């Protein structure tokens, strides 16, 4: 398959965890990839694991907290491939749990920028290109924090809840352009975003590959169907055995 023949997916937070698992799943189905994150070594390892040639696996170093980052990222992907068929808004950020009144203003701004503003901005840019071609899929990765509103994660929870609401509203606007808009709301996933915690049995957490499988189900869903919201929870509760 040549670069021009392959569908193109842009994956944020592609250097590790869910983003890497999604990138590998997309590569196995023949996609060319734009891999975006802040750390080159992690992105290069993802590219190596995809076994794609460099021309079909573009690495873009980007900090999505920067206001101009979404436009620059989408521009780099479009300049290189000429198209974006799938957008995976996976990048997320949160500091260790800290009470709201002790949260630094810089951390507050970064959480809103990375978890909410960047996915919205990328969706607007990419969906405009998709709507002209009459096809495309955008998948936003939220979190069960959007529904469970845990203590000391108020801003993160608000950003992820906003991402869920945005997805539903954007789908209502874009569905008639045949652009799929979906949000995945996963519970505990075994990634570096969740530090070691004696209260959680990591063996019961979902592996990133399970979220990637849900992404691929959305990407490959029938043309007349859109799974607008997909909720994933570990079959067994990783925190069930904990006693306060």
Catalytic residues: 156
Compute the distance between CA of residue 79 and CA of residue 129 in angstroms, rounded to an integer: 13
End-to-end CA distance of the chain: 55
Question: How far, rounded to the nearest angstrom, does the alpha carbon of residue 88 sit from its chain's CA centroid?
Answer: 5
C-alpha to C-alpha distance for 61 and 41, rounded to whole angstroms: 10
Give a three-class secondary structure readout of 47-74: HHHHCCCHHHEEEEECCCCCCCHHHHHH
Dist. CA 126–CA 213, nearest whole Å: 23
Hey, what are 157's tokens?
């929870």
Task: Let me know: does 121 contact 112? Beta carbons within 8 Å.
Answer: no
Phi-psi region of 152 (alpha: psi -120 to 50; beta: other; left: phi over 0): left
By the 8 A CB rule, do 123 and 174 touch?
no
Contact yes or no for 159/115 (Cβ under 8 A): yes
Q: Smallest Cα–Cα separation from 137: which of 121, 152, 148, 123? A: 123
Positive/negative CA dihedral, 191, 196, 197, 200? positive
């Amino acid at each position: 398959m040549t670069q021009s023949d392959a569908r193109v997916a842009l994956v944020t937070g592609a250097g590790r965890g869910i983003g890497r698992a999604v990138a590998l799943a997309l590569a196995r189905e023949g996609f060319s990839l734009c891999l975006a994150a802040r750390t080159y070594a992690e992105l290069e390892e993802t590219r190596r694991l995809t076994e794609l040639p460099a021309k079909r696996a573009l690495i873009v170093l980007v900090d999505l907290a920067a206001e101009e980052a979404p436009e620059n990222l989408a521009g780099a992907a479009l300049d290189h491939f000429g198209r974006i068929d799938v957008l995976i808004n996976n990048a997320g950020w949160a500091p260790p749990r800290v009470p709201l009144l002790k949260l630094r203003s810089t951390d507050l701004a970064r959480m809103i920028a990375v978890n909410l503003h960047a996915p919205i901005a990328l969706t607007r840019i990419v969906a405009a290109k998709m709507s002209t071609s009459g096809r495309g899929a955008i998948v936003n990765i939220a979190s069960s924090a959007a529904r469970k509103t845990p203590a000391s994660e108020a801003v993160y929870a608000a950003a992820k809840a906003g991402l869920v609401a945005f997805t539903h509203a954007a789908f209502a606007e874009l569905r008639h352009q045949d652009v799929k808009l979906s949000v995945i709301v996963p519970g505990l996933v075994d990634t570096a975003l969740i530090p070691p915690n004696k209260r959680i049995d990591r063996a019961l957490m979902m592996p990133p590959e399970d979220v990637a499988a849900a992404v691929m189900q959305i990407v490959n869903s029938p043309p007349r169907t859109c799974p607008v919201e997909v909720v994933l929870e570990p079959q067994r509760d990783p925190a069930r055995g904990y006693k306060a």
